[in-house]
Structure 1
Amino acid sequence: MGRASKAGRTRIGMTLAVGMLAVLVAGCSGDAEEGAAGPHTVSTPAGDGGGMTENSASGEAMDRASVSGEAQGDAGARNGDSSARDLSAAQLEDRKLARSARMSLRTDDVDAAAVEARRIVSDAGGYVASERSRRDRATLTLTVPSEEMDAVLGKLAELGERKERQVTVEDLTDQIIDVDSRVASQRESVRRVRELLDQAESISDLVAIERELAQRESELESLLARQDALRGKVAMAPITLTLRETSADDDEDDGGFLGGLASGWGAFTALLGGTAVALGAALPFVVLAGVLAAVALAVRRWHKHARGTAPAPAGAAVPDSEA
């Protein structure tokens, strides 16, 4: 009996020990699961396989986040550049630009090229402002709409060999804004003076107000004329086209020292030619005047000689011979 009871107690103690051990193991495993599921990540040793998996996953997530951030940054930069370009284009469209151009061409047939240039300008809605031609060259001043200038220059370049092309742009935005503002102010001033004119009660007031109104209306007309001129320079673009034959010498260019010398010599010879023509026209009158002057001088001398040799009168005293 004593051995049996002692063995039973031993088995009971072992059972209790195993149960307590199981409870402790279950508690530790529960704490580990709570730590993994909590807001803070528990770092595990590098030797643990689970720790390595968690770190690599986190690294990949961070890499993906950084790549996504860089992609978003590049997209934002591209969007910013596009917006800047759009803004610059919008600002450029709002500017009031006056454009002009010069072009020099070599061609085999100057007259035919000039006719074709006039046709190109007419088709573009422009006109020929002036034209000057001589033996082997022609200079045309063409006026076309500003938006058609580039297209017209391209077509004109096909008429021959291009030797020179120059495009000039002048920004008139500030001047136009200033003139527009002054026109609005002057119109308001004229309106107020007209109201005062309706309220005039005496002749003197009426005369003074009419004088002031006339002065302000004159200033308004001047501003309106300047406004039209500025807008006309923006709307239309002048093109100076010089056509020369292929066989013409380069020294005959209109620019530079030689061009100035040629222009001066041409003016000098033209002056001499004009003087010669004037002298030729006046020469018959000069000869006639000289003949008349010679006749008058001869007649005068004859009268003077006749008076000196005329006989003395009959009643005149004769001097004494003895004296």
Structure 2
Amino acid sequence: MTPRTRLAAASLVALAALGSACSTGASDGGSSADTSADTSAGGSVADAPAAESRQDALAFSDEADGAVPITAASVDTDRKVISTGNVALRAEDVGEARAEVQEVVDRYDGEVAEENTGTDDDGDVARSRLVLRVPTARFDEAVESLTGVADLVDASTTSEDVTTKVLDVDIRVRVQRRSIRRIELLLDRAESIRDIVAIEAQLSRRQADLASLEKQQDHLADQTAQSTITVSIARTREGQEAEPEADDAGFLTGLASGWDGLVTTAVAAATVLGAVLPFAAVALLLGLPAWALLRRLRRRPAVPAE
């Protein structure tokens, strides 16, 4: 068999393996591509040991071409957490509270990613909603500082451990990149148009999968490096702070309830009186002349019959 024939046969074997790997989906596409690419170097898919885990399969595919195996130990395994917080505040001067929130953001090397501020008829700031991004390492300190900016209404935080997800995406990105490099080697060695078209189709698909994985990787890196805190500031209603704490019983409570009942009764009576008064005035204007006429008719002596 001539070298050219041997190369064409190896390319066809590799393409067949790549075609079968495509049916496994994007989740395990990286390891399948590496195994199929190794067949171009003279190996066979049947020669691969039965891998009990993704790391074992990756190690086998990397050892085939002398590369350093990609395993969980070869990537960053630090704990990765996505933290989010919500802080609701109330202040008499919303503008001043907004400025203090900015001071907290600057103190912890954060940034205001989004802001929605509204004013009243006089142009004064009446409400403000801010979405803050602060380093994850200083998330707890930032939340504690924000709760002291004004009167705290509510505060909550959530944390999600995504270490496994980050590790999985990182490994798949590395495997996919090596798979693309091997397919590019096959493309450089291909001579027939049929082989070139088939290899380019596989290469395009692998590059699209890699782009998708890299977007996931960038998103996770951003979410784990910077935490999100949503701060809402509302204006304190007039007289809200002066209101005493509500008591279920007591003299003052009874007095307040009685006074409220008296006021309510007086308002109801005045309302009824106001509604009836116009009708009473009309009845008086029409009734007085009629009553006088009736009395005059009654006093007139009766005419004797002849």
Q: Please, what TM-score do these two structures have when normalized by structure 2?
A: 0.49
Higher helix share: 1
Q: Please, what TM-score do these two structures have when normalized by structure 1?
A: 0.46
